[in-house]
Amino acid sequence: MIKKYTGETIIMPIQVVSNELTNLDGVKIIFSIKREGMEIIKTPTVEGMIVTARLESAETLVPGIYYCEFRALIGGITKVLDFDQILITNANIREVITNA
């Protein structure tokens, strides 16, 4: 489980290891993240065998458990490349103001 704070930008890279593939050219990959009835689907970036998804700070404003997975369409079959959970908790930010 990944632990982050609300409002944090989260970058999630995974390395794909496959006996079937040597590169991901032409493979359709999506990133899906779900939380309490909400789902965000994104197209991750692909460089070689590294797939990276990015959640912007505006997408992590609500605390809770987010379920995420990378899926790929390989040879007409949908496969889960990786999955994880992200626990997002409230960020307790304290601001200190000093007068000089």
pLDDT tens digits for range 43-87: 999 998 999 999 999 999 899 999 999 999 988 889 999 999 999
The domain spanning residue 16 has which CATH number? 2.60.40.10
Is residue 98 a part of any domain in this protein? Answer: no
Q: Which amino acid is at 24?
A: L
Q: What is the pTM of this model?
A: 0.80
Is residue 40 a part of any domain in this protein? Answer: yes
Is residue 95 a part of any domain in this protein? Answer: no
Q: d(Cα 66, Cα 88) in Å, to the nearest integer?
A: 8
Is residue 60 a part of any domain in this protein? Answer: yes
Sheet containing strand 64-74, edge to edge, reads 2-5, 77-89, 64-74, 28-35, 38-42
Is residue 97 a part of any domain in this protein? Answer: no
Name residue 2's beta-bridge partners: 86
Domain that holds residue 45: 2-89
Residue 96, pLDDT above cutoff 50: no
Counting DSSP H helices and E strands in the chain, the numbers are 0, 8
Per the structure, how many domains does the chain have? 1
